[in-house]
Structure 1
């Protein structure tokens, strides 16, 4: 993969932002595009808040930024069908809904925005697939209107942020001094992962699955054995919805992925049943979960030992995740991984079967990098994917340095 004169969205390379340099520190190299985007983002957020009646605005906006209660809520994120915090789209007028989508588009590249919209629309497909009767304690079990928006701080101030999330979607942005300080955690899921279309198939996450499988199958027998983390796939991403990821973290069970306990016994029983079915399908024991825990020492096959063709596949796979960030940041991530010494530090791990249709999981790790993907549930037709920066999720490294703290 050669370096082009333009980055994603056709933006010139000299207007990009280098997110991580050789010392894993953030460096700014030209920021006109980024400042323009952040201004648009602030206007969309401010216009949305200004359009809301007081009661809705009080739920949508949490101030001041940095207040302990506000910060605790900012770090609370989900990808399950639970209350994500803020105001759901279904309670907003059409114009207000449009402003929410405008804000979401500011936080993603256009391909990522289209993917996010598809994920939201899949709630209608899932409703039909489940016979229109799944009970999550609300009038409609699967609801494309249940995607929540919340703003932290005041748009346009030196430090503010926002979140849009719902079932299988979580986008988290932090803005500092007119620049994008953090764009992770970033989660996209798809249930079903593959659905029939007229003369085709809808696979919102098909690209990141196919690229990883192509990389795994391209490895020789010995290399594949080094990449294999476990012969069977784990039933979910390991990092879960933790605010921070650390070595030793094991997969969270479904009961821990909701906003508080599920008081109605029928909902608690439903979640227990879903988790039991997933665990039984994976065949995992406590020892298996321990083997798949996140580690301080790198696991998997190292990029530095890959062939040029395999490294191109890896770069394309990495870009498919980092392109979830706003376009100037996405372009800088692409440039970062074009440098051989940066790519050399990435490792690729796999669990489960390799053939299409078999339950599988993969993981990419490196400095300030954790990517996870699983497609195991519903007969390997229910996918989760997440991109994280273990040191800088939610901009916690930046905030800690400003407070004189040592980030944990």
Structure 2
């Protein structure tokens, strides 16, 4: 029994996981069947049971770099449609709309940056540079996985024995976080930001002292793109997020300059980063110390993240987190200003959930958000158990 399959929601959770896995299997099979031999060389990888494939599977990014797999730009229109149908199986309707919007924002960001960003490729901000890769043979292998990602998107899923066992890490960012439309504005992560701010603003002075991790916000989420999150992890700098240096010295300098400017803007030192490190048990205020109205607001905030999952699975997550014994283990932390438009960061952390939201870059108009499971990101716990059972058959 996994951490989120405890009674009374076990039956609903199990059915939701099976239904999601079935939809993913059908969509993945259709996509792979539509590819030619050359495309399959990029799209199809070995099962996660293969050590080399597993090493590649847990290598993930949210930066504008090659995420590994077959890019949308290298597919025809029909194949692109099948790709997006695959992506939709991993998300709720609202989650899919958010992801599609973030992908489209690459055009807006290109204009914001004066059409001059390139990141070592022909077009640096490109809505066709999102990659899909499948690990294993859907419908044939007992263990298979898939991921979809590009700038500000990383979706990761693992299926074992016809059951979706993991949907994290799930990263969605937005740059710009807010952009003007004719007569309105576009804010893909507005729900996640406003739900947290509404909760924080209900705190009395003694509660705010507990929730405040630091008076100013760090320049990025703390967990970064580590495969696993551990006690004591501090914010990853851009050099580490990109996993190495560029062969182009101009790009190499650009990454260092961006990181240096971000650190100067935040004012953080090594001591500050240590102060806001991820810890077990978590820092911040416990849900036990919240009144009923505040607990309701916290539950609503959690749904802004677990609600990314396929519809029925999201509902099962809601039921799970509504249980007092589960919610009591959740802590909330905040850094930075509570004023709208000002740089800020928050963290929601429990034994099987880690949520981070950061909006500091571009003067508080460039947001990163991630939903993780500290106990089993990438389904690593379930995969280890599967291997153990296989050894004793």
Range of TM-score over shorter length = over 0.9
Pick one of 72, 96, 116 that aligns with 2:99: 116
Counterparts of 1:18-37 in structure 2 under 5 Å? 20-21=4-5, 27-29=10-12, 31-32=14-15, 34-37=17-20
Match of residue 79, structure 1, among 62, 86, 90: 62
The residue that corresponds to 1:385 in the other structure is 369
- Picking from 149, 160, 169, the partner of 1:176 is 160
C-alpha distance after superposition, 1:147-206 (max 9, x if no partner):
000000001132111000000000101111111100000000000000001111100001
Partner of 1:341: 325
Counterparts in 2 of 1:49-128, with a 5 A limit? 49-128=32-111
Q: Which residue of 252, 257, 265 maps to 1:273?
A: 257
Please state whether the residue corresponding to 1:218 is helix, strand or coil.
coil
TM-score by length of 1: 0.92
After TM superposition, the structure 1 = structure 2 runs for residues 212-223 of structure 1, keeping only pairs within 5 Å, are 212-223=196-207
The answer for unaligned runs of 5 or more in structure 2 is none
Cα displacement string for residues 38-94 of structure 1 (whole angstroms, at most 9, x for unaligned residues): 222112111111111111101111014311110000000000001100011011000
Relative to the length of structure 2, the TM-score reads: 0.95
Q: State the partner residue of 1:362.
A: 346
Q: Is the 8 A contact 1:109 1:324 kept in 2?
A: yes
Q: How many residues align?
A: 388
Structure 1 pair 242/32, CA: closer, same or farther in 2 (3 Å)? closer
> Secondary structure of 1:364's match?
strand
Whether the 8 Å contact between 2:211 and 2:285 is mirrored in structure 1 is yes
**1:146 matches 2:142:** no
**Aligned counterpart, 1:244:** 228
Q: Distance in 1 between matches of 2:74 and 2:297?
A: 43
Please give the root-mean-square deviation of Cα atoms over the aligned residues, in Å.
1.8
Q: 1:271 to 1:30 in 2, by over 3 A?
A: closer
Match of 1:305 in 2: 289
Match of 1:321 in 2: 305
Question: Are the aligned partners of 1:147 and 1:167 in contact in 2 as well (CA < 8 Å)?
Answer: yes
Rounded to whole Å, the distance in 1 between the matches of 2:27 and 2:81 is: 10
2:9 touches 2:319 (CA, 8 Å); kept in 1?
no
After alignment, is 289-298 or 186-195 more displaced?
Answer: 289-298
Pairwise mapping of residues 157-306 of structure 1 onto structure 2 (< 5 A)?
Answer: 157-306=141-290
Partners of 1:173 and 1:394 within 8 A in 2: yes
Distance 1:388 1:267 in 2: 30
Residue 260 of structure 1, CA deviation: 3.8
Which has the larger displacement, 95-104 or 303-312?
Answer: 303-312
> Which is worse superposed, 337-346 or 284-293?
337-346
The answer to whether structure 1 residue 332 and structure 2 residue 316 are counterparts is yes
Aligned partner of 2:26 in structure 1 is 43
1:401 aligned partner: 385
Deviation per CA, 1:225-254, whole angstroms, max 9, x where unpaired?
A: 110000010100000000011001111101
Structure 1 residues 357 and 33: CA distance shift in structure 2, 3 A = closer
For the Cα contact (< 8 Å) 1:19–1:329, is it kept in 2?
no
Task: Check whether the contact 1:19–1:26 (CA below 8 A) recurs between aligned residues.
Answer: no
Tell me if the contact between 2:48 and 2:54 (Cα under 8 Å) persists in the aligned partners: yes
Distance 1:65 1:305, change over 3 A: closer
C-alpha distance in 2 between matches for 1:381 and 1:343: 31
Structure 1: gaps of 5 or more residues: 1-16
Q: Secondary structure at the match of 2:115?
A: coil
1: CA distance between counterparts of 2:269 and 2:187? 31
2:16/2:316 contact within 8 Å kept: no
Task: Output the CA distance in 1 between the equivalents of 2:12 and 2:364.
Answer: 43
**Residue aligned with 2:156, SS:** strand
CA shift for structure 1 position 283: 0.3
| Match in the other structure for 1:5 | none
How far the C-alpha of 1:31 sits from its partner, in A, is 4.8
Give distance in 2, aligned partners of 1:264 and 1:165.
23
Aligned partners of 1:22, 1:29: CA distance in 2, in Å? 11
SS class of match (2:201): helix
